[in-house]
Amino acid sequence: MANLITKLGRLQMKNPVMTASGTFGYGTEYSDFMDLSRIGCIIVKGTTLRERQGNQYPRMAETASGMLNAVGLQNKGVNYFIEHIYPTIKDLDTNVIVNVSGSEIDDYVKTAEIINELDKIPGIELNISCPNVKEGGMAFGVSCAAAAKVVSAVRKVYDKELMVKLSPNVTDIAEIAKAVEDTGADSISLINTLLGMAVNAKTRKPILSTITGGLSGPAVKPIALRMVWQVAHAVKVPVVGLGGIMNATDAIEFMLAGATAIQVGTANFINPAISEKIVEGINDYLDTNNFSSVAEIIGALEI
């Protein structure tokens, strides 16, 4: 049994396996399928200051080795979260952090301020990369100046783990990563979904109500790996890798490329027990290859 304990900025985790926001509900949806206390961290779905109904159906299109979604941050708002969800998850024997989204800097700041008061929420993931909201989200994640502005504003009011989730829909992701590191991010997660599109040839219409949506699943893995590798070389803060991780081998590849921890996303839909299996698989890999701790494989890519 190798040492899987992972330190991510101010956050200490049992192991490097986290579940990606928007793919794991509030965790409790998965409790029939696995022991939630076995994973390192649950990131609950995108939470905004006020309730959002999200986009119209259809919001999803299956694509080759992946899927497009255009949910549009449907959630009942941060106050509902505190009143109705927080009591059901605060005593889970694992880290639970909240993905915070917004369309204006003030929304991010207010939401982060409110969550800062919750004892059992040791961190937030700042989502500056959602491609499915017209009025913002990704807009903050595609320019260094805008990213720096929102991160520094949130940093002022939030004193726990501040992880910033980056968009891959940019020319130079390392530049954006540096900008959020410089303005106070404790860690950086990437990648959010890639902007894509699906067309129905029969009806000659787009499949998604929003025309475009975010691509996830194994189809995006090579891009995610490349970006994690680039960012891990550009910043000193820990990097969290995600994008198409379906099994422990995928997870290990991201860690070799420089990720301190990883997030399991779309794979949760295919196998709702997979996150726990990935923890076991990482441990098996470490044991088989005579590593005594998971830290030894971070960035251990031999070039």
Partner 1 sequence: MKKFILDLKITQKVQLNKQNVLLKLTSKDLLPEILPGQFAEIRVDGSPATFLRRPISINFIDSARNELWLLVQIVGEGTKHMAEMNPGDLLNAILPLGNTFTIPSDKNAKIVLIGGGVGVAPLYMLGEKLKKLGYKCIFLLGARSRSDLLLLNEFEKIGQVHTTTEDGSHGEKGYVTQHSLLFNSDFDYIYTCGPTPMMKAVASYAAKNNIFCEVSLENMMGCGIGACLCCVTDTTEGNLCVCTEGPVFNITKLKWQI
Q: What is the 3-state secondary structure (H, E, C) of 64-120?
A: CCEEEECCCCCECCHHHHHHHHHHHHCCCCCEEEEEECCCCHHHHHHHHHHHHCCCC
198-216 burial, b at 16+ Cβ within 10 Å, e below that, comes to: beeeeeeebbbebeebbbb
Contact criterion met (CB below 8 Å) for 121 and 114: no
Q: Cβ closer to partner 1: 145 or 201?
A: 201
Q: Active-site residue 130, yes or no?
A: yes
Which residue out of 36, 43, 70, 130 is catalytically annotated?
Answer: 130
Q: Output the six-digit token pair for 66.
A: 């992946």
Q: Other CB atoms closer than 10 Å to residue 288's CB: what's the count?
A: 9
| Shortest distance in whole angstroms from residue 44 CB to partner 1 | 11
Report which residue type is found at 282.
I
CB of 252 to partner 1, least distance (A): 22
Q: How far is the CB of 243 from partner 1 (least distance, A)?
A: 15
Q: How far is the CB of 182 from partner 1 (least distance, A)?
A: 34
Distance, in Å, from the CA atom of 147 to the CA atom of 124, rounded to the nearest integer, reads: 16
- Residues of the shown chain interacting with partner 1 in the complex, contacts defined by CB under 8 A: 22-25, 29-30, 32-33, 45, 53-54, 56-67, 69, 71, 74, 217-218, 268-273
Choose between 94 and 183: whose C-beta lies nearer to partner 1.
Answer: 94
- CB nearer partner 1, residue 116 or residue 271: 271
Find, among 68, 67, 73, the residue nearest to 55 by Cα: 73
Of 11 and 207, CB closest to partner 1: 207
Catalytic residues, which ones? 130
